[in-house]
């Protein structure tokens, strides 16, 4: 199918201002431009491309396996935006294998670019300064058959900090 959907709600609350909360964590669609799924466009509420840690699901890492510095650039790790991902077939297979063994986040492309609001998930836009992020990566197969994903990320944008609660 050229189109797929993913929906993930959360009912745990933010633990900051309210103890009980229902919100969307992910709500996006992938449109596959080509039948081999090498080129795709993702739109909706999704993970932002600012670091390897951000792309890894909590089910794919240990509890303390995330840097606090990541939260300063992408609070909530997700936002509303549109992305383009390019994944050659060999990379698609390797990304799937890495994710199966909890050593990688899955297929976010050898090349990815995204434009997003920049205020985090489920929050209104406050400054109309869209964030832009780029990912360049590749899953290499080593001579012993092990896989190694290497990559770089870059992003820019201006985040408006909420005033402290009264």
pLDDT digits (tens, 9 = 90+) for 26-47: 899 999 999 999 999 999 999 8
Radius of gyration for the chain, computed over Cα atoms and rounded to the nearest angstrom = 16
pLDDT digits (tens, 9 = 90+) for 137-155: 999 999 999 999 999 989 8
State percent of the chain over pLDDT 70.
76
Distance, CA of 25 to CA of 78 (rounded, Å): 7
The pLDDT score that the predictor gives to residue 105 is 78
Closest C-alpha among 129, 98, 130 to residue 113? 130
The pLDDT score that the predictor gives to residue 64 is 57
Beta partners for 155?
133
| pLDDT, averaged across the chain | 82
Closest C-alpha among 121, 112, 16, 100 to residue 57? 100
Residue 162: CA count within 13 A, CB half-sphere? 13
- Stated pTM of the model: 0.82
Would you say residue 60 has pLDDT above 60?
no
What are 133's two structure tokens? 């992020």
Closest C-alpha among 49, 54, 52, 74 to residue 133? 49
Pairing of strands 131-141, 78-86: unpaired
More confident residue, 124 or 139: 139
Distance, CA of 3 to CA of 1 (rounded, Å): 5
The pLDDT score that the predictor gives to residue 62 is 56
């Amino acid at each position: 199918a050229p189109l797929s959907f993913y929906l993930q709600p959360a009912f745990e609350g933010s633990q900051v201002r309210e103890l009980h909360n229902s919100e969307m964590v992910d709500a996006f669609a992938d449109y596959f431009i080509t039948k081999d799924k090498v080129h795709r466009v993702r739109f909706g509420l999704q993970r932002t491309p600012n670091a390897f840690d951000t792309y890894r699901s909590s089910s794919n890492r240990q509890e303390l396996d995330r840097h606090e510095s990541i939260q300063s650039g992408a609070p909530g790790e997700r936002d509303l935006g549109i992305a383009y991902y390019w994944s050659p077939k060999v990379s698609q297979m390797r990304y799937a294998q890495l994710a199966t063994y909890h050593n990688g986040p899955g297929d976010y492309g050898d090349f990815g670019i995204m434009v997003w609001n920049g205020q985090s998930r489920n929050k209104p836009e406050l400054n109309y300064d869209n964030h832009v992020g780029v990912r360049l990566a590749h899953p290499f197969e080593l001579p012993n058959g092990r896989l190694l994903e290497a990559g770089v990320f870059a992003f820019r944008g201006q985040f408006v900090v909420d005033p402290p609660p009264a």
